[in-house]
Amino acid sequence: MSESTPAPAVPPASGPTPKSARKVKLILLVLLLAALVVAGRMWWRSTYFEETNNAYVDGHISAIAPRVDGVVTKVKVTDNQLVKAGDVLVELDPADFSVRADKINAQLQEVEGELLKLDAQIEQGEAHARALDAQSARNLAQIARFKRDAERQIALNNKEIKAVTETELNAAVAARDSAYADEAAQKEEIKAARAGVRALQSGREALLARRKALEAEVRNAGLQLGYATLKAPVDGRIGNKAVEVGSHVAVGQRLFVIIQDGVWINANFKETQLRDLAPGQKVKVVLDSLPGQDIEGRVDSFSPASGAKFALLPPDNATGNFTKIVQRVPVKVTFAPETPKALLDKVVPGMSAQIEIDLRQGQPGANAR
């Protein structure tokens, strides 16, 4: 009897063990819980918070530019220097302005001399006119006398009476007529004298107008001379300095800027985020330059138009190429009054910021309404 062949070994069944299956389920559960936490957090923040990272620090920036052309002779400030209002910043060569002022002053003195001369001529002309008036009055008295003499001579020499000769009568009538002629000539001479006075007075008015114009030019020349010295209009810190001694500067050319104390943030919120925002709400500000440090702020005000309306070339949606884009509206956020000055000194215009507003605080004043 032959030996029986042994049966082949059966391999164990493939598949996860109970231990590995529990591990997979645990990982899936953890991932599910994490997804729920993330989704819940996203829902929570989208419901009760509004935030934007499209926010930048802004401030009062005063550009310093000359009001006259000139060559720079002195620059009395350096980069980042603190200045006070009224401090001298730059001086221009005043020679040209001084020469112009002297020239105008000389013209003004010349006009003053002409005015004095005209005043004397006007006074002389008025005196002459008054003398002619007095002479005219004497002429009227003589006319009355000559008229009476002529009437008497005519009365004494008529058809009935021949008490005077023809020669005497003619002489009386001629004297009367001559007095009338002298009076007429005297009136014309008075008119001419008065017209001469009026002409002189008109010339005087023209000189007065010229003097007024020259006085204005003198004041303007004084202003131009004063503009040769540039002074700080406000307190602040010098920035963007672009001027040196010897430079020729033109009117309106920016030499540097003065950054004043006091900054705020322009936060550009989407138009869909504005519904629950209101002035006075507290704001959490996080600056990129101060990571991990929360700063309290306040919603100050809203821009009267979206940023697109203030662009150099605003979009024209009536052209037919229309694509709806969610617009952003600048919201001014100020720092809380209790913010330490040492911290604000580190905040300068242009810095990036992130803004977060808790909507659970409501809108200030809403309950009162």
Task: Give the pLDDT band (50/70/90) at residue 16.
Answer: low
Give me the mean pLDDT over the 209-223 stretch: 88
**DSSP notation for 112-164:** HHHHHHHHHHHHHHHHHHHHHHHHHHHHHHHHHHHHHHHHHHHHHBSSS-B-S
- Give yes or no for residue 172 having a pLDDT over 70: no
In the chain, the percentage of residues whose pLDDT exceeds 70 is 80
Spelled out in words, what is the top-level CATH class assigned to the domain 63-94+229-249? mainly beta
- The angle subtended at Cα 218 by Cα 217 and Cα 219, nearest 5°, is 90
Task: Report d(CA 326, CA 319) in Å as an integer.
Answer: 19
Give me the mean pLDDT over the 173-184 stretch: 69
- Give yes or no for residue 13 having a pLDDT over 90: no
- Tokens 């009367």 map to which residue? 176
* Residue-wise pLDDT tens digits, 225-282: 899 999 999 999 999 999 999 999 999 999 999 999 889 999 999 999 999 899 999 9
For the ranges 134-148, 167-181, 195-209, 259-273, the one whose mean pLDDT is highest? 259-273
The three-class DSSP label of residue 4 is coil
Give me the mean pLDDT over the 327-350 stretch: 92
- Give yes or no for residue 363 having a pLDDT over 90: no
* pLDDT at 369 (0 to 100): 41
- Give yes or no for residue 346 having a pLDDT over 80: yes
* pLDDT at 59 (0 to 100): 94
Q: Are 60 and 260 in contact (CB under 8 A)?
A: yes
CB-based contacts of 203, cutoff 8 Å, min separation 6: 118
Q: Which carries the bigger pLDDT value, residue 195 or residue 61?
A: 61
Q: Are 123 and 271 in contact (CB under 8 A)?
A: no
Task: Give the pLDDT band (50/70/90) at residue 3.
Answer: low
Give me the mean pLDDT over the 145-151 stretch: 67
Task: Report d(CA 307, CA 316) in Å as an integer.
Answer: 14
Query: Which residue type is seen at 110?
Result: E
Q: Can you give the residue ranges of every domain in the chain? A: 63-94+229-249, 96-227
* pLDDT at 115 (0 to 100): 86
* Residue-wise pLDDT tens digits, 17-35: 777 888 888 888 888 888 8
Lowest mean pLDDT among 139-148, 153-162, 354-363: 153-162
Hey, which CATH number is domain 96-227, 1.10.287, 1.10.10, 2.60.40, 1.20.120? 1.10.287
Backbone phi, psi, residue 218, to 5°: -65, -45
First to last CA, the chain: 112
CB-based contacts of 315, cutoff 8 Å, min separation 6: 308
* pLDDT at 163 (0 to 100): 56
Q: Is 50 exposed, middle or buried (0-12, 13-18, 19+ CB in 10 A)?
A: buried
Q: Which carries the bigger pLDDT value, residue 186 or residue 37?
A: 37
Four-CA torsion 368, 281, 344, 56, nearest 10 degrees:
-140
Lowest mean pLDDT among 283-287, 306-310, 351-355, 360-364: 360-364
- Reading the block at residue 145, the tokens are 């006398």
Task: Give the pLDDT band (50/70/90) at residue 1.
Answer: very low
